Structure 1
Amino acid sequence: MKKEENKIIIYSFLFIVALILRIVGPNQAFFIWTKTISHVSHSIILIFFVLVISQIIAIFVRDYTLRRIANYMLFIATGLAIFFIFQDRLIAASVSLGIVAAAFTFIFQTPVLSLVGWIYLSMGRVYNTGDRIRLGNIKGDVIDVSPLRTKLLEIGGEYVQADLPSGRIATFPNSMLLTDEILNYSKFFPYIFADVPFHLTYETDFNFVFKLVRDIISKNIKNDRKDMENSFNRLTRRFGLKDEFEPIKFNITPSWTWVEFRVTFPLDPREQSNVLTKVTKDILEEFQKHPGKVKFPRGRAR
């Protein structure tokens, strides 16, 4: 309470001094009183007056929420009052500034949008250096981010079908962040779910296939399984999801003469090509060892 009272005394004193200067100022021969100085003096008087009212509110309004609302309304009213004080000056200045801003925006449209995209990237933390992302048709690992552009080590692309580095550096303006969808393969959950499909006949022992494939996948992801589960649980807690972590899932889709068997499991996106190749190879080798239980379509049946 004592602190607020001291502030009221100080602001009241400054308010009175500013008011006296406003009254006697135009009558002093040694001082040229212009319209701009008059506007500034009115604004200073208003600000000191508002500060006094604000401290009075702090003393008599004890509820925090009501005090904040009252102060917000007071400061909004002050801003509007100062705007109307300088209205004649602001209109002329705004027209000139509007013309300059329009020309500036037209000439530097792409750099300005790229800078806005960089601000959006920095505030939203959409991706960081080292993340694997896809932006539009471009996919790769982020190797450099500047205010105007982002560089990726391209993955896949025109000459490489697998998720492997193409050797090319892809550069795009940050303005694309404002228009294109962004997929981040590394943020929050640093794994992706990939699947391996097979065409099998209806005579296949699918219970045997389920167990066989589950054992092979479990062996391949054994070293990362705990980290996968922890990362997935952090993701669900962060976004309030109810899903439970199931590392290996099966799907069977019947067709006319065969069944499409598909297994889905998590893996490191940087190792996707190597892991899928190894898992597919291991599964095929085990399938071929059990021709009585695992049967592939042949000839026209396919």
Structure 2
Amino acid sequence: MSISYISIEEIGGTIGGEEKSGRIAVVPNSIIFEKEILNYTAQHDFIVDEVKTIITYESNLGKAEKIIAKVVEDIMSPLWENFPKKISKEPRIRLKFMDSGINVIVRYYVPAVRRNEISTAITREIFIRIKNAGDIEIAYPHTEVILRK
């Protein structure tokens, strides 16, 4: 930091996801008064993240919701002892109709610096458990032809 500029680590930029790119951004102090600046950790070190899983309309929705919430609890529970009391530990499930199925969205608080790591672990475990569930299928764009006589 100087009188005329500040230096901050770039997030994203040359890479996908919100991870540090390794580059330093030099920001003139005048920008601070002209532009909106997002600070994920101004209040605390935790942010809300989400993982989306689209399942087919034929799938067992209730079971999928339970599996997905349990995955988040299993992965996040070792971290909960370090959470401030005001931060919710309960994963929140939201549902949305999509073209190929139901989007099951799970939202949860996560340490900001571990967002991508934890999201990847949750996604991997959701995939494994849904694959083994038997009555839940992950939806994907495809065409089904039905011939009627």
Query: Which structure has more RCO (C-alpha within 8 Å, separation ≥ 6)?
Result: 2
Give the alignment partner of residue 7 of structure 2, picking from 140, 151, 156: 151
Residue matched to 2:61: 206
Structure 1 contact 188–231 (Cα < 8 Å) conserved:
no
Q: CA deviation at 1:178?
A: 0.7
Q: Spell out, residue by residue over 1:211-248, the C-alpha distance to the aligned partner (whole angstroms, 9 max, x if none).
A: 2112211122113324334253xxxxxxxxxxxx3631
Give TM-score scaled by structure 2 length.
0.85
Gaps of 5+ in 2: 145-149
Structure 1 contact 216–282 (Cα < 8 Å) conserved:
yes
Give the alignment partner of residue 173 of structure 1, picking from 9, 23, 28: 28
Q: Does 1:249 align with 2:92?
A: yes
Q: Does 1:296 align with 2:132?
A: no
Q: Name the count of aligned residue pairs.
A: 143
Q: Does 1:283 align with 2:126?
A: yes
More strand by share: 2
Residue matched to 1:237: none
More helix by share: 1
Residue matched to 1:259: 102
Give the alignment partner of residue 80 of structure 2, picking from 191, 216, 225: 225
Give TM-score scaled by structure 1 length.
0.44
Local SS of the residue matching 1:212: helix
**Residues in 2 aligned to 1:247 and 1:147: alpha-carbon distance in whole angstroms:** 44
**Residues in 2 aligned to 1:222 and 1:160: alpha-carbon distance in whole angstroms:** 29
Runs of 4+ aligned residues of structure 1 deviating over 4 Å after TM superposition are none
**Residues in 2 aligned to 1:224 and 1:149: alpha-carbon distance in whole angstroms:** 36
Q: Which of the two has higher C-alpha Rg?
A: 1
**Match for 1:149: what amino acid?**
Y
Residue matched to 1:13: none
Alignment of 1:88-99 (within 5 A): none
Q: CA deviation at 1:195?
A: 0.7
**Match for 1:178: what amino acid?**
F
Gaps of 5+ in 1: 1-144, 233-244
**Residues in 1 aligned to 2:77 and 2:39: alpha-carbon distance in whole angstroms:** 24
Structure 1 contact 213–283 (Cα < 8 Å) conserved:
yes
